[in-house]
Structure 1
Amino acid sequence: MQHQAVLDAEGLLCPEPVMMLHVEMRKLEPKEVLKVIATDPSTTRDIPKFCQFLGHTLLDQQQNDDGFYFYWIQKKEG
């Protein structure tokens, strides 16, 4: 999936990935997509809640066999 920016949150534990996500989303223009790479299982709960609360769109989320979690988040308009 195409994205304009990447947040590498490997090795970071809650709440760091979501705190960093908040900072990175502010840098994006509306409708741009951020790819997040994380290793903390709590991101499967925290990132969807973050998107829902702030109005961003979680386009996709995936997990691989190596314990990595991937998220594609589109910044809301306006």
Structure 2
Amino acid sequence: MSDAIDAQHHLDATGLLCPEPVMLLHSKVRDMAPGEVLEVRATDPSTERDIPKFCQFLGHTLLARQQDGELFLYWIEKKR
């Protein structure tokens, strides 16, 4: 999936536990332009719940997500 999505920004939240991944995500998205895409890498399983809720609550688009072993990957487009 990552080959098909061009992410302009990247956030490595591996090794961090709730609430840190979402706090860093919120800060990173704030600095992005509308329509830009962020790729997030995380190892905390709670991100499976928290990141989609974050996107839904703030109006961003969760373009895709995938799991590779213990690594969770998310592609988020900032709302336009």
TM-score band (shorter)? over 0.9
CA displacement at 1:45 relative to structure 2: 0.1
AA in 2 matched with 1:35: E
Alignment partner of 1:20 is 2:44: no
Provide Cα deviations, 1:35-64, integer angstroms capped at 9, x if missing partner: 000000000000000000000000000001
Segments of 5+ residues of structure 1 without an aligned counterpart are none
1:70 corresponding residue in structure 2: 73
One-letter amino acid matched to 1:47: I
**After the TM superposition, which parts of structure 1 deviate over 6 Å for at least 4 consecutive aligned residues?**
none
One-letter amino acid of the counterpart of residue 35, structure 2: K
Listed one character per residue, the Cα deviations across residues 11-49 of structure 1 (whole Å, up to 9, x for unaligned) are: 000000000000000111000000000000000000000
Hey, what does 2:6 align to over in structure 1?
Answer: 2
Aligned residues: 76
TM-score for both structures, normalised by structure 1: 0.96
Partner of 2:47: 43
What secondary structure does 2:63 align onto? strand
- The alpha-carbon deviation at position 5 of structure 1 amounts to 0.4
Root-mean-square deviation (CA, aligned residues, Å) is 0.4
- State the percentage of identical aligned residues: 64
